[in-house]
A and B are shown apart, each in its own frame.
Chain A
């Protein structure tokens, strides 16, 4: 199956700093990538849909100025958590759909963000 690489797998930062998370599709081109957030023992909540070469579409309640998404190429999307605060601590997961019209979503391994 297709591989989605997410980096870093965990990060600890101080309150007020910014953190960038990378999501790469390794063996396929992903025209669309999705960013999810997951709190302990809860399900995945979609934050935004990222389309290559265009602006991301954010879900209701997600601050686009706080969670900056860039999808500059067919294999890379980045999520930057700006001015992170402790309430931003969560597990962030990216996923990608095969650009060849595939229905399956392939997920990265996730990034655990802890803001002190």
Chain B
């Protein structure tokens, strides 16, 4: 069964304190691993798609990496505006299967 597990559930960081979010997955035939950011009461906002092990993508303070079993979202020197829930999803067939997310809070 396709499954996505994210850890930690919640993360509190001081502004400037770098850290990483984990997404472990099992899927039959990975067609893509997606990272989204979701603010309270809003729909998810697309961040990255990764397709193969070893691939990396960056956007501002965020960097996503992918192995055969997991993906990491690295946050370098976060700012309070980076506070949000970060969702990981894998594509299974035509569908996206989401993890439960990591709620990130960055304090000034």
By a beta-carbon cutoff of 8 Å, the part of chain A in contact with chain B is 1, 4, 6, 32, 34, 41-46, 49, 91, 93, 95, 103-110, 112
Contacts and interface: CB of A to CB of B under 8 A. Distances in A.
Contact of A108 (B43, B46, B91, B94): B43
Question: In the complex, which of the residues A4, A46, A103, A112 has the most CB atoms of chain B within 10 Å of its own CB atom?
Answer: A103
A32 B95 CA distance: 10
Q: At the interface, is chain A mostly helix, strand, loop or mixed?
A: strand
Contacts of A91: 41
Contacts of B98: 43-45
Interface of B: 31-32, 34, 36, 41-46, 49, 87, 91, 94-101, 103
29 contacts: A6-B43, A34-B95, A34-B96, A41-B103, A42-B100, A43-B98, A43-B100, A44-B44, A44-B87, A45-B98, A46-B95, A46-B96, A46-B97, A91-B41, A103-B31, A103-B32, A104-B34, A104-B46, A105-B34, A105-B96, A107-B36, A107-B44, A107-B45, A107-B46, A108-B43, A109-B42, A110-B41, A110-B42, A112-B41
